[in-house]
Structure 1
Amino acid sequence: MKKLILSLFLGAMFILASCGENKHTDVVESGTYQGVAEEVDADEKEIYVRTADDKLIELYFTDETKLTSSNGDELTFKELKENGKVEIRVEKQGNKNVPISVKTLN
């Protein structure tokens, strides 16, 4: 009986640990940063950018966020590619970063 309870408990813990990916993200000071768009979620209009100093910045686009190519052309969110190099300008608001602009670099 103890083995059954222990097995059920360990199974439940494994399932809970697997559910809901919880990424550790960093909040940075307002400014401009370069990095790689590790993850792009078009449904949420969200990107995760890994900077050169290994910070992971989570950004939810707003209606005011400007997205441009390296030559200044406006882009749509769907044109943003995972693993592409980007330059982001963010404003720190409390415990989150708000993207002012995102420019693709490649």
Structure 2
Amino acid sequence: MKTKFFSTVLVATLFFFFSCGESTDVVESGTYEGTIKEVEASKTEIYVETDDDKTLELYFTDQTELTRDGSTVDFSELEEGMRVEVEVKKEGKRLDPISVKVLE
């Protein structure tokens, strides 16, 4: 009886754990506008929800240009809720951010 209970709890916990992950989309190379949904500073990563309801997972590289009002800004200035324009290059199932422009 205890084994069946613990097995059920384990399965439910694993299901919950895997269903909580970020669901992201891979789009074609191009430029998209949207809102920053999440900022992961330790990974220099942002999640952007586009105007057509896609979620883009973007890991910044040394080559990613980040600007605001035409000037380069630091990653630490990014915040959830900011409007951005992102230019991405599709590399397989990964999106490389070429540029991120803060619109607000």
TM-score by length of 1: 0.90
What secondary structure is seen at the aligned counterpart in 2 of 1:43?
helix
Letter in structure 2 aligned against 1:91: K
Q: In structure 1, list runs of 5 or more residues that go unmatched.
A: none
Amino acid at match of 1:32: T
The residue correspondences of 1:28-39 to structure 2 (distance < 5 A) are: 28-39=27-38
Q: In the alignment, does 2:25 pair up with 1:26? A: yes
Structure 2 residue aligned with 1:93, among 88, 91, 94?
91
Residue 62 of structure 2 corresponds to: 63
Which whole-Å CA distance do the structure 2 matches of 1:23 and 1:10 have between them?
25
Shift in Å at residue 13 of structure 1?
2.0
Q: In the TM superposition, what are the counterparts of 1:8-23 in structure 2 within 5 Å?
A: 8-19=6-17, 21-23=20-22
Partner amino acid for 2:25?
Answer: D
**Richer in helix (by share):** 2
* Structure 2 CA distance for aligned equivalents of residues 45 and 56 of structure 1: 17
User: CA separation in 2, counterparts of 1:17 and 1:37?
Assistant: 27
Aligned-residue identity in percent: 47
Shift of 1:19: 3.6
What TM-score does the superposition give when structure 2 sets the normalisation length?
Answer: 0.91
SS class of match (1:81): coil
- 3-state SS, counterpart of residue 98 of structure 2: strand
Aligned residue pairs total 103
Q: Which amino acid aligns with 2:30?
A: G
**Structure 2, unaligned stretches of length 5 or more?**
none
